[in-house]
């Protein structure tokens, strides 16, 4: 399978669909950990491969540092998903996801905020970087 922008965009659609399904069934107002368990279950139901709560390696000037920096979910070893259950998505959340994407060399990241009225309209934000831009469209 060749990874293209189209493939990643289709995968993004599936991921956001899983988040919408979770939100539809349990609604806003719960802890992030509850959403994470439900979201992971939904991804697995869709046959998507994932890793969760894995350490993000930090290499600083050639030295690997042991830090407790962890991403929420990595889907199909391509898309990083950061889950939130708060008032809104803040610029710091975007910065964190962009940093994860850079350190892990992943082309796309999605922030999903379950404490929203509508995941599709105001509860998610997708981010891309140079790795995404370097892929072919089709």
Per-residue pLDDT, averaged over 126-136, amounts to: 97
Global confidence as pTM = 0.94
What rounded mean pLDDT belongs to the chain?
96
Q: What is the CATH number of the domain that holds 90?
A: 3.40.1350
pLDDT value, residue 67: 86
Residue 95 lies in a domain: yes
Please give the pLDDT value at position 68.
87
Unique residue bearing structure tokens 């991921």: 15
pLDDT over 70, % of the chain: 99
pLDDT value at residue 100: 96
Angle between helices 32-45 and 5-26 (to 10 degrees): 120
**% of the chain surpassing 90 pLDDT:** 92
Digit-coded pLDDT (tens) for 62-96: 999 988 899 999 999 999 999 999 999 999 999 99
**138 lies in a domain?**
no
CA neighbor of 114 nearest in space, from 124, 104, 129: 124
Q: Say if 36 falls within a structural domain.
A: yes
* Alpha-carbon span 40 to 83, nearest angstrom: 11
What b-and-e string marks burial along 92-120, b requiring 16 or more CB atoms within 10 Å of the CB? ebeebbeebbeebebbbbbbbbbbbeebe
Domain range for 87: 5-133
**What average pLDDT score do residues 28-44 get?**
97
Domain count, the chain: 1
In a domain, 80, yes or no: yes
């Amino acid at each position: 399978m060749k990874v293209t922008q189209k493939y990643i965009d289709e995968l993004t659609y599936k991921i956001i669909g899983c988040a919408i399904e979770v939100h539809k069934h349990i609604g806003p107002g719960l802890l992030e950990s509850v959403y994470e368990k439900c979201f992971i279950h939904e991804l697995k139901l869709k046959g998507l491969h994932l890793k969760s709560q894995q350490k993000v390696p930090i290499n600083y000037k050639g030295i690997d540092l042991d830090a407790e920096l962890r991403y929420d979910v990595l889907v199909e070893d391509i898309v990083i998903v950061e889950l939130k259950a708060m008032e809104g998505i803040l610029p710091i959340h975007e910065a964190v996801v962009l940093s994860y994407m850079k350190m892990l060399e992943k082309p796309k990241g999605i922030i999903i905020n379950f404490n929203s009225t509508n995941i599709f309209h105001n509860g998610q934000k997708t981010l891309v970087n140079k790795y995404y831009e370097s892929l072919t469209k089709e």
